[in-house]
Structure 1
């Protein structure tokens, strides 16, 4: 395959991937009478920048933003702690049944999340956590995929490094946080970024476990633009663009760590 043809395919693929985002931004700037016209209008006749201000004022987005930040930050910190500890145990500590337990955990990844929706809801309801931050945060403080990714990265670090550290009097705890974690920075940044994106964009679970407007997150808050009279698509797209923009910026800044983390994690497996 020639290099020119490969670049052409990559360019075409990139355009196809960007089309939904281009359409979202275009629709967010349209007057309401141009949103559903046929054939579709890609460039608005009048750029309505005030759609963004109207969308922000139509719903309590300041509260939604606060809730999303709290849920994203706390669930990311929780998952990071559980992932680091579990990945270290499954990669560097020898104990009976280690591989069996890890295989069982990996098998749970084949269970669709929708199957667990009702059991998890019933559990949280019995705990009295519905419509509270605990329901939005606690169930998502552990991830088997993140544990698997970081474990593979830890396994690529030579065991001799740990032997040398223990000879110098370093405990397992200090070896983990002073040596293993700094070396695994690309994988950890990848896990953090994927977790932030997942928590920020979560819709189904926050919709199920929240009842009041005060506990809604940003994706759930988008339903404010859908009424019995129809959907205000220009405002919906404007709000969606505001929600997606922070994740795009974060991804652009940290994308090199994702590539490094995924590539390194595949060295041992």
Structure 2
């Protein structure tokens, strides 16, 4: 007599099919695939860092050794005097000072204005809010060259041309900062704001005491992006800053290259000095930058 009884564990689904409700096993990557992935990442990182390494090494060489063939990947001898010579032969102090002043001022204003406007779009309800936000964010797609001339005329009539205030005025507000902060604010539960309103806290108090402390990663991301953009800006200072004492590091290096176009080692030294502050700031705020970019746009 044949036993036709079967338990649930004896049931086998046909090939290629899975029973509903039963989780499927996921294949974990093998050790070889992980090693290959890490090796590919290391090679990609090395390829990205190679130009910066060559720039730093070239700043420690003599002029004749910069473009030798085959390439000397280690300076021999090490010429530390290049970093002293460039300070003596250029106005590096003024260039770095002007660039730092503009970068700090523009970054501070963009963080304040962007976060405050984003709070209004994310938490305050008023007629036409969504249409106004879409129109404002849509300005990101408009190239600056299309309104560069009218903007210059406006700055000239306001007597801000050929002053550092012109750069601060045209870059103190940005649609990208508003968009970034609004997307992050929407990840913060609305219940926190409602509870604060019940307790009698004003909208400004909610923004200052609740939203800003919770949005540090997004604020750090916005600050880092704005600082790097302002530090590396060339076209804006070229148009508005005509006096030598107002030159930024980018304008200063351009004039230095035109005067000492054969001093390759000094040119590389100036390039290192222009990149170093940005690299240090990025390394210090890397954790907040990654966290802010990763969480922006996620709702829940």
Q: Which residue is equivalent to 1:237?
A: 268
Residue number among 144, 150, 155 corresponding to 1:113 in the alignment: 144
Q: Which runs of 4+ in 1 moved over 4 A?
A: none
Report if the CA contact (8 A) 1:30-1:47 is conserved. yes
Of residues 243, 257, 260 in structure 1, which corresponds to 2:288? 257
Deviation by residue 1:84-111 (Cα, 9 ceiling, x = unmatched): 1110011001011111111112221112
**1:225 match:** 256
Q: Secondary structure at the match of 1:230?
A: coil
Residues 166 and 136 (structure 1), Cα distance of their counterparts in 2 relative to 1, 3 Å cut:
same
SS in 2 for 1:226: helix
Q: Retained in 2: the 8 A contact 1:136–1:206?
A: yes
Name the larger-Rg structure.
2
Find out whether 1:98 has 2:129 as its counterpart: yes
- Please give the alpha-carbon distance, in whole angstroms, between the structure 2 residues aligned to 1:229 and 1:174: 55
Q: Does 1:178 align with 2:178?
A: no
Report the equivalent of 1:55: 86
Give the unaligned 5+ runs of structure 1. Answer: none
Task: Normalising by structure 2, report the TM-score.
Answer: 0.85
Post-superposition Cα deviations, 1:122-171, rounded to whole Å, max 9, x if no partner, equal 22122221110111211111111111111011011111111110110000
What's the counterpart of residue 147 of structure 1? 178
Runs of 5+ unmatched residues, structure 2? 1-28
Greater Cα offset, 54-63 or 145-154: 54-63
Query: Counterparts in 2 of 1:21-100, with a 5 A limit?
Result: 21-100=52-131
When normalised by structure 1's length, the TM-score is 0.95
CA distance in 2, matches of 1:118, 1:184: 36
**Which residue pairs with 2:198 in the alignment?**
167
Contact residue 91 and residue 151 of structure 1 kept, 8 A? yes
Structure 1 residues 113, 138: CA separation in 2 closer, same or farther (over 3 Å shift)? Answer: same
Structure having the higher helix fraction is 1
In the TM superposition, what is the alpha-carbon distance from 1:228 to its structure 2 partner? Answer: 6.0
Q: From the superposition, tell whether residues 118 and 138 of structure 1 become closer, same or farther in structure 2 (CA, over 3 Å).
A: same
Aligned partner of residue 285 in structure 2, secondary structure: helix
